[in-house]
Chain A
């Protein structure tokens, strides 16, 4: 069982009239709202939180890529990961992930990931993603080519890491006479690969076939995760092997305080800022991003999405976030981790407007009072091997 601290690096100062005047926290939200001075403070706090995760004994930290939005102000996770490669000592650095259809050419991703792997001494986990729906608007990238661009970019990056260069690549979307990235990654033949998914069969099949790790996209109802993870395990069986729990990751918001009551009191306003403001506009399916049938299906699945929650009870019942005393958090996580059969827990410890001091306090409590018990109970050693 491995524990990761995941960060979105959200914008915490949306105007009071946001809900009235803005339909979304994405793409069309005027960037005047972003205050660079305050942005600098936030970035430094957020990096401090991830460095703290390393010091507290988390197995890894996670950063990710989003563009033109308030939900996650990290357009370049590789910049953050490269800082963390220097400032952390032991933990894995999971970039979940680079949106590779937007890298032109995608060999930039192979190069930058290799740099991070070298600087960190081989601690990179390489996440490769299609890119979120809103980002196809932000970049004016044609979403009807998203999947084929992803596959071409993916295969190209894998070749760039594993085949001696220079070689030629003449694909549909990129034509490269010389593929020969310097540097190469420390981890051979390549860093571990993580791929997030929101339940589309195409992605599950792709990850299972190649024996990579599948990360469940957060903010869905527990039952939705269960269905997707079961589907993944079935897909692995059909490929003639049994999935390792470490091939599955579960990402969810976690908050720990001294007591249940205190945890909710400290956490709740920040949680609702996240749910009601930052999630607004996250789930957008531009045309062709996935098949028409999948879009129709996922639209229905969205009836089980965190943004439909109105009360604390809704959050708890759907398992959208785990909030409480160390004992409550431990007990709920233990039960659900076993039920879901996942080997990686990706905790979102900071979210919305949650201040730096509360985030650090929650992470410390979690690391000191939740993680050791869970490690023992789930009968596995610390991953810092």
Chain B
């Protein structure tokens, strides 16, 4: 017998009244990317902040060209360059306080380095000596995530946990335009909005997911619009305008820290290099398109602004370049040393305590290595990474 067959017993409770959002901020205040450089507002930009950004941008560009060169020398297995996207990478790091957390994707080594990571340690994933060569706690940078969008729910969870503990910590998570199609992206946004988690999502829309242009990824008016459906603010910003990206991210971080919940920021930028050194970008895009974006270069935009406002002289520019060269030379030198790897480390950190099976397998490898060493230099000895 069902409840419907005994009318007296069925007393539906009226549904609770639908609660509209009380946040007065419009979810998508502007359909046009927000810009500072080249607008009247640029005159009010703090000279020190501009110089700071400029120094990071020049250094960041040099970092990208150096890392790319290291792939040609076989020193890096692969490098997904962020050349052209340096403004986003740098702003992502600078918008955060020390106690905040950064959740980068595989393309965001520069953001991690800008946050203070040792450049060599930040590159181990791409060199191939270890998956994550740094301690995430040291600078509060999560491991670079290779599977797309998978780091976004992590950022939400961490931010949520911090708030449960009463810490005013914010998480900033980075993802590409292609990654916004993954289920994890949508689930992360929804959780963040429902929990009002202190998270900032930064989408670097660089036009392509490997070969696939944004038009085949989404037909939404913009990626920032996706925020509206989840009930969080979406912000569209010119991703090559470093002061603008920094301002928008800083505001989103402030809002999150103040309990205002998550924000989705879409930075419109362009990937000037191929997807990685292994990719042939001529198959899917024209030189003309790349050239057009080269004339909107994030490094030059800030440099021109400094010159326009007479905030830098030739010596000042030379000093910035020299500092970048020193960083590059140091990186080159250190990357040219073969990493000292111990194959026995394969069995470390699989579990907190090695299982009997892993102990056996470790003994097998130890015996093999000893036998190879006893065989002498015929097999090239034990040194790792020299025969790549």
Q: Do A and B come from one complex?
A: no
Q: Which residues of A contact B (CB under 8 A)?
A: none
Q: Which residues of B contact A (CB under 8 A)?
A: none
